Chain A
Amino acid sequence: MNRRVVLGTIAAALTVAASAASAQEPMVFGVITPLSPPGETALGQQVKRGSEIAVEYINEKGGVLGRKVVLSIHDTAGKNEAGVAAYRRLVSNEKAVAVFGFIHSGVNIAVNEVAKEMGVPTMGTQTGAGDVTAKRYDIAFRTHAVDPPRAATWLGWAKKNGFKRLSILAETTDYGIGLAKATEAQNKSMNLGMDIQTIMFDRTTTDLLPQLLQVKAFKPDAIINVGVGQPLDLMITQATTVGLLPTVPMVTSYDAPGRPQHWQLHKEQGVGVHFIAFYTQKSKLSDVGEWFVKKYQEKYNEPPIYSALNGFANALVFAQAIEMAKTTEPKALIKALETGSFKGWSSVPVTFPQAEGALWHNWSPPLMILKYNKVNQTQADAEVAYTLGDN
């Protein structure tokens, strides 16, 4: 009896010690993002910066459930297999409670196939393909614009300008294929009657001249550039060479031109380029959003762009959801994410409704098309050429 009591006491003490230790152990947030080519590294860097500032903010406020938060950042180089390996390592070895930072849709989709078995929720930071959330996996969340509203934005812009012929050059990735299909589908379903030329290209291609010559032969009113990273910039350069730009307006499918690198690469060729944007310095921010913008500017001597804001917000949302659930247990965390309303960077609260299709667990930022009218113009000064819902 005495022996049993002693053993039982020791076991209880060890259990308490273990939970006390684990309660003091830092909480790991995993960031899976591209930090080297051929991934979209500039955006990955922004996500990394945003999430690092978020963790500083969270820890300054006392952490989450009394525990300090630490980031574990993994580079995918834009490759699906690297993302999957990173997720496995984060969940199995590092005991991450939340994973975010995705830029490439293909990586997010591949990781979600594993995450649905392993259970730790993921959040697409800037992944646009419908399938990231359209499969309605419990673990899949996203804070970014999906294909349909993005396609609706440039179709609305084209309609506003009276354009009848559009050329879409899209990379053969989940992102590119999804956007090309969404554009064609909406042209049909909304009876816009536009003549659309769709040209797909391998994103590892180093020469887009054959494709651009086909575009030139088609004589479009506008070009939709659905390249990510290097192909996006290559298309701007080569479209100028063959005489398409600046006469034929080009819209890029995301806000890459918002970075200072746009002017370093393109100089005068960058004038007249339109781009989809989700944030400008004129956007309405929440109080933490405003804090973040100031902090980022102090730290990096430049204003943040959307990717940094979203990286910041993803970490914050997970922290708030864990506090709401009072646990890091995945199912409870997922429930909290589905039912809660969270503060992100925008004045619009972040919610993840169980909606239809790609809007499942999806929060979308406001969408607009900005245009540069002069060299070295900043995103803040760019002309707002169109806002979704204008017409």
Chain B
Amino acid sequence: MFSAELFTQTLIAGLMIGVLYALMALGITFIYSIVRMINWAMGEFYMLGSYIQYVVVAHALGRDLWWLAVIISTAGTFLVGYLLQPILIKPMYARAMERRDDYATVVTIALLLMLRSLAVVIGGPNQFRPETNLPVMWVGPLPMEGARVAASVCALLALGVFYLVISRTWIGLALRAMAQNRVAAQTSGVDVFRLDAMAFAIGVALAGLAGALLAPLFLVYPTNGAVATVKGFEIIVIGGLGSIPGALIGGLLLGVVESLGAGFISSSYQNAYGFLLVLLVLLVRPYGLFGERGREA
């Protein structure tokens, strides 16, 4: 039965979760733009961020400094990405590999399995929840966990900061140059290998940030990144691979469609509504709402 109040509440819930999905998608699309590879282990960096958040809150800082733990989790995920990239990803370019896409797929799936298994062995099978000191808040007519409101606000802030870094800093300029033409950027004196590592680390840090923010809501366990990965890939298809505005709009659209579908059609098929949206976009605009038709020489 339709009710305006239920519609508003469901819409707000969808928009808030959509912002968080967009963070995941942004990480995937950013890595693709610069390094020209799909990182299939993004969900595991999300998972890593959530575990660091739990460990830091539960065993070091406590619930009152949850926000500091988020910063530490993001930095920790960044560091792991920065250290792994030269070992796993750099050979793709350094050795002038022919089948780079296949290499990237195999390596990142292997990384996915390794990180997930490590989580099971180290963390065990149980679920955890890092606390926050945030009370329940009202967003319009909807009571929301304080952690969810904070997560959405932080995600928007992170997206804003990311945009500023990319558009207003030298590193952002260099990264954009690499995205446009890697060879030309390298010829111009940009250290593309160092920036590859930076881009990879930034991309996975965004996933880690999403994991840390969502940990109090969706719990911490070894496969909590799996669904986030699927959502991320849905969004980059909807929004367009390599498009930052596309990641945000795609995330919001996906969150709203899933939420409204579950609320007013049938909740059994909540995940299916997102896939239907993906199919629709592929039919109408195969390169995504904000994507560009690619050309390869």
Find A201's partner among B219, B224, B270 (CB 8 Å cutoff): B270
Selecting from A133-141, A206-214, A285-293, A334-342, the interface stretch reads A206-214
Interface: B152 (CB within 8 A) = no
CB-CB under 8 A from B268, the residues of chain A are 172, 200-202
A77 to B226, CA, bound (A): 13
Interface: A261 (CB within 8 A) = yes
Interface residues of A in 224-241 (CB under 8 A from B): 229-230, 233-234, 237-238, 241
- Name the CB-closest residue of A to B146: A241
CB-CB under 8 A from A261, the residues of chain B are 126-127
- Name the CB-closest residue of B to A78: B223
CB-CB under 8 A from A233, the residues of chain B are 127, 219
Given the interface contacts A36-B223, A217-B3, A264-B128, does A205 sit within 8 Å of B13 by beta carbon? no
CB-CB under 8 A from A217, the residues of chain B are 1, 3, 6
CB-CB under 8 A from B127, the residues of chain A are 37, 229-230, 233, 261, 265
A233 to B217, CA, bound (A): 10
Q: Do B222 and A210 touch across chains, with their CB atoms under 8 A apart?
A: no
Q: Do A37 and B221 touch across chains, with their CB atoms under 8 A apart?
A: yes
* B 262-276 binary contact with A (CB < 8 Å = 1; else 0): 110011111100000
Interface: A101 (CB within 8 A) = no
State how many angstroms separate the Cβ of A145 from the closest Cβ of chain B: 24
What secondary structure prevails in chain B residues at the interface with A? helix
Interface: A45 (CB within 8 A) = yes
- Name the CB-closest residue of B to A205: B270
A195 to B87, CA, bound (A): 61
State how many angstroms separate the Cβ of A165 from the closest Cβ of chain B: 15
CB-CB under 8 A from A210, the residues of chain B are 10, 13-14, 258-260, 262-263, 267, 270
Given the interface contacts A45-B125, A209-B13, A261-B127, does A214 sit within 8 Å of B227 by beta carbon? no
Interface: A199 (CB within 8 A) = yes
Interface: B92 (CB within 8 A) = no
Find B143's partner among A234, A241, A265 (CB 8 Å cutoff): A241
Interface: B38 (CB within 8 A) = no
- Name the CB-closest residue of A to B148: A241
Find A199's partner among B14, B136, B260, B267 (CB 8 Å cutoff): B267
- What size tier do the contact residues of chain B reach? 35 or more
Q: Do A241 and B267 touch across chains, with their CB atoms under 8 A apart?
A: no
CB-CB under 8 A from B34, the residues of chain A are none
Q: Do B125 and A37 touch across chains, with their CB atoms under 8 A apart?
A: yes
Interface: A41 (CB within 8 A) = yes
- Name the CB-closest residue of B to A38: B223
A265 to B218, CA, bound (A): 11
Interface: A42 (CB within 8 A) = yes
* B 22-66 binary contact with A (CB < 8 Å = 1; else 0): 000000000000000000000000000000000000000000000
Interface: B9 (CB within 8 A) = yes
Given the interface contacts A201-B270, A233-B127, does A36 sit within 8 Å of B218 by beta carbon? no
A262 to B1, CA, bound (A): 35
CB-CB under 8 A from A124, the residues of chain B are none
Q: Do A241 and B269 touch across chains, with their CB atoms under 8 A apart?
A: no
A230 to B224, CA, bound (A): 10
A325 to B128, CA, bound (A): 46
A243 to B135, CA, bound (A): 13
Interface: A44 (CB within 8 A) = yes
Query: Which A residues fall within an 8 A CB radius of B?
Result: 35-38, 41-42, 44-45, 77, 172, 199-202, 204-207, 209-211, 213-214, 217, 229-230, 233-234, 237-238, 241-243, 261, 264-265
Give 9 new A-B contacts, CB below 8 A, not counting A37-B221, A200-B266, A210-B262.
Answer: A202-B271, A204-B226, A205-B271, A207-B13, A207-B17, A209-B10, A211-B263, A217-B6, A265-B127
Pairs A-B, 4 closest by C-beta atoms: A41-B125, A210-B262, A200-B268, A210-B263
30 A–B contacts, CB within 8 A, in A order: A35-B120, A36-B120, A42-B126, A201-B267, A201-B270, A204-B226, A205-B227, A206-B214, A206-B224, A206-B227, A206-B228, A207-B17, A207-B259, A209-B259, A210-B10, A210-B13, A210-B259, A211-B262, A211-B267, A213-B9, A213-B263, A214-B267, A217-B1, A217-B6, A230-B219, A230-B221, A241-B145, A243-B143, A261-B126, A265-B128
